[in-house]
């Protein structure tokens, strides 16, 4: 029976100091700074890591991403997972059907890597024109990863060689699953025991380390050759630290995997991303679960951040005095890495307060977004 926490919960923003904003540094992206509030005009962003789900959940969330983003790399961890190009093409059709009328949102599909994925499947994926990457879930690492890879060096080298040939990126959920490794160390150990040896073996494989959470990941990304290895970064790993899981009571809506880390890790990621390096790009990892699957005795991992992500990224860059670097992170670095054109349309971000809905109801449930009921400052709009 699902239960919910009635403890009066404190929020746990890392505090921001608007007085530290350096207005001079972001002059060229400011569309207007009238008294009503500053306005940024950005090339339309893409989301390079998104969970859209299927069925009712897909219909409940698709428009939130489609309104703001031009494209998204869509994660394949459905039940059953998207392991073939044929399944990816069918899934793409169901996403297109769930979009609001007139939407030009372009879902970029991925395949779910298993011990049995064949090199032939990679050829089909490349030929399809709709599959853009392959996702590595170590078996048991996260939601719907039970069909993931059990032994990458023993089972997957031929398929990874084929991907390198086709310039098809490997998207990595970078955590070991060994239960003897502390959950807060799983990313660091994955880098040492899997990623570094893998790159030595296959130096031409393009890799995106997804949703990085540690200073070790930043160090690893910086050590790799530019354009060959990159990272996506989520709003939650830029804004929250692991205290947010426990502040004022257990906070299931802040639980995601990889789990939030210490403040020093958050700070390292913020510095890396706001430095303007093109090795990092926007990937929300927005991962909706029905409320009862979050607020229960064995709550699912995943934060639903699609409606708030752009506001939060803007806040992080503003706080760092780096609003001039925001557009490259949201809209340039991703397509450049994937070898795709940048979007041509624009969106606006207005510096005006807006209240995040407490939940998004749909026919048989509801989804609680990140910062539900809170007031945020940057409001995205299409005109
Ligand atoms: O928190 C997460 N949720 N991390 C993942 O890796 C998967 C995702 C999901 O699908 O819910
Ligand atoms: Zn994910």
Q: 274 in ligand 1 pocket by Cβ < 6 Å? A: no
Q: What is the 3-state secondary structure (H, E, C) of the chain?
A: CCCCCCCCCCCCCCCCCHHHCCHHHHHHHEEECCCCCCEEEEECCCEEEECCCCHHHHHHHHHHHHHHCCEEEECCCCCCCCCCHHHHHHHHHHHHHHCCCCCCCEEEEEEECCCCCCHHHHHHHHHHCCEEEEEECECCCCCCCCCCECCHHHHCHHHHHHHHHCCCCEEECCCCCCCCCCHHHHHHHHHHHHHHHHHHHCCCCCEEECCCCCHHHHHHHHHCCCCCEEEEECHHHHHCCHHHHCCCCCCHHHCCCCCCCCHHHHHHHHHHHHCCCCCEEECCCECCCCHHHHCCCCCCCCEECCCCHHHHHHHHHHHCCCHHHHHHHHHHHHHHHHCCCCCCCEEEEEEEEEECCCCEEECCEEECECCCCCEEEEEEECC
Q: 232 in ligand 1 pocket by Cβ < 6 Å? A: no
- Would you write out the chain's pLDDT as a tens digit for each of its 383 residues? 333 333 333 344 444 333 333 333 333 345 554 435 799 999 999 999 999 999 999 999 999 999 999 999 999 999 999 999 999 999 999 999 999 999 999 999 999 999 999 999 999 999 999 999 999 999 999 989 999 999 999 999 999 999 999 999 999 999 999 999 999 999 999 999 999 999 999 999 999 999 999 999 999 999 999 999 999 999 999 999 999 999 999 999 999 999 999 999 999 999 999 999 999 999 999 999 999 999 999 999 999 999 999 999 999 999 999 999 999 999 999 999 999 999 999 999 999 999 999 999 999 999 999 999 999 999 999 98
Q: 256 in ligand 1 pocket by Cβ < 6 Å? A: yes
Please report the pLDDT score of residue 143 as a whole number: 87
The answer to whether 211 is a known catalytic residue is: yes
- State both tokens at 293: 């699957």
Count of CB atoms situated within 10 Å of the CB of 29: 17
Judge whether 154 lies within some domain.
Answer: yes
Alpha-carbon gap, residue 28 to 325, rounded angstroms: 10
Please report the pLDDT score of residue 161 as a whole number: 98
The answer to whether 135 is a known catalytic residue is: yes
Please report the pLDDT score of residue 12 as a whole number: 45
Strands 229-233 and 360-362: unpaired
Strands 346-355 and 375-381: antiparallel
Please report the pLDDT score of residue 167 as a whole number: 97
The answer to whether 253 is a known catalytic residue is: no
Judge whether 3 lies within some domain.
Answer: no
Please report the pLDDT score of residue 378 as a whole number: 97
| CA–centroid distance for 307 within its chain | 13
Q: What is the 3-state secondary structure (H, E, C) of 58-117?
A: HHHHHHHHHHHCCEEEECCCCCCCCCCHHHHHHHHHHHHHHCCCCCCCEEEEEEECCCCC
Please report the pLDDT score of residue 16 as a whole number: 36
Total structural domains within the chain: 1
Q: What's the CA-to-centroid distance between 302 and ligand 1, angstroms?
A: 5
Judge whether 5 lies within some domain.
Answer: no
Judge whether 103 lies within some domain.
Answer: yes
Please report the pLDDT score of residue 3 as a whole number: 33
Q: 77 in ligand 1 pocket by Cβ < 6 Å? A: yes
Alpha-carbon gap, residue 300 to 317, rounded angstroms: 30
Q: What's the CA-to-centroid distance between 46 and ligand 2, angstroms?
A: 15
Judge whether 65 lies within some domain.
Answer: yes
Dihedral angle sign, alpha carbons of residues 16, 375, 11, 273: negative
Alpha-carbon gap, residue 291 to 300, rounded angstroms: 10
Please report the pLDDT score of residue 26 as a whole number: 35
Q: What's the CA-to-centroid distance between 75 and ligand 1, angstroms?
A: 9
Q: What's the CA-to-centroid distance between 196 and ligand 1, angstroms?
A: 24
Judge whether 305 lies within some domain.
Answer: yes
Judge whether 2 lies within some domain.
Answer: no
Nearest alpha-carbon partner for 149 in 188, 177, 186: 177
The answer to whether 49 is a known catalytic residue is: yes
Q: Which domain range does residue 325 map to?
A: 10-382
Judge whether 1 lies within some domain.
Answer: no
CATH classification at residue 297:
3.20.20.140
Q: Say how many residues make up the chain.
A: 383
pTM of the complete model: 0.93
């Amino acid at each position: 029976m699902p239960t919910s926490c009635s403890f009066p919960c404190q929020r746990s923003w890392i505090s921001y100091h608007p007085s530290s904003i350096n207005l001079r540094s972001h002059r060229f992206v400011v569309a207007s700074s009238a008294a009503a509030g500053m306005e940024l005009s950005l090339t339309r962003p893409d989301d390079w890591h998104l969970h859209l789900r299927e069925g009712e959940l897909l219909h409940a969330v698709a428009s939130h991403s489609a309104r703001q983003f031009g494209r998204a790399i869509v994660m394949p961890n459905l039940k059953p997972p998207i392991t073939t190009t044929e399944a990816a093409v069918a899934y793409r059709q169901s996403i297109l059907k769930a979009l609001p009328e007139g939407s030009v949102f372009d879902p970029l599909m991925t395949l779910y890597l298993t011990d049995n994925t064949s090199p032939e499947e990679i050829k089909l994926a490349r030929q399809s024109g709709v599959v853009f990457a392959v996702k590595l879930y170590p078996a048991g690492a996260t939601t719907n990863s039970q069909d993931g890879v059990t032994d990458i060096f023993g089972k997957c080298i031929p398929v990874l060689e084929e991907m390198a040939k086709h310039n098809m990126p490997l998207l990595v959920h970078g955590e070991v699953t060994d239960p003897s490794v502390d959950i807060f160390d799983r990313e660091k150990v994955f880098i040492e025991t899997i990623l570094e040896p893998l790159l030595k073996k296959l130096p031409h494989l393009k890799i995106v380390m997804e949703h990085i959470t540690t200073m070790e990941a930043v160090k690893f990304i910086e050590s790799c050759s530019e354009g060959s290895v990159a990272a996506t970064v989520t709003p939650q790993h830029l804004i929250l630290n692991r205290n947010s899981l426990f502040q004022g009571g257990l906070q299931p809506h802040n639980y995601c995997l990889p789990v939030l880390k210490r403040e020093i890790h958050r700070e390292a990621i913020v510095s890396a991303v706001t430095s303007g390096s093109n090795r990092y790009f926007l990937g929300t990892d927005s991962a909706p679960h029905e409320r009862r699957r979050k607020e229960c005795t064995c709550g699912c991992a995943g934060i639903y951040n699609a409606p708030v992500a752009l506001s939060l990224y803007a806040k992080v860059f503003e706080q760092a005095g780096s609003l001039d670097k925001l557009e490259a992170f949201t809209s340039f670095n991703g397509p450049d890495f994937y070898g795709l054109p940048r979007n041509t349309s624009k969106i606006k971000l207005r510096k005006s307060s807006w209240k995040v809905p407490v939940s998004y109801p749909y026919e048989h449930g509801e989804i609680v977004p990140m910062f539900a009921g809170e007031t945020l400052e940057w409001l995205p709009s299409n005109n």
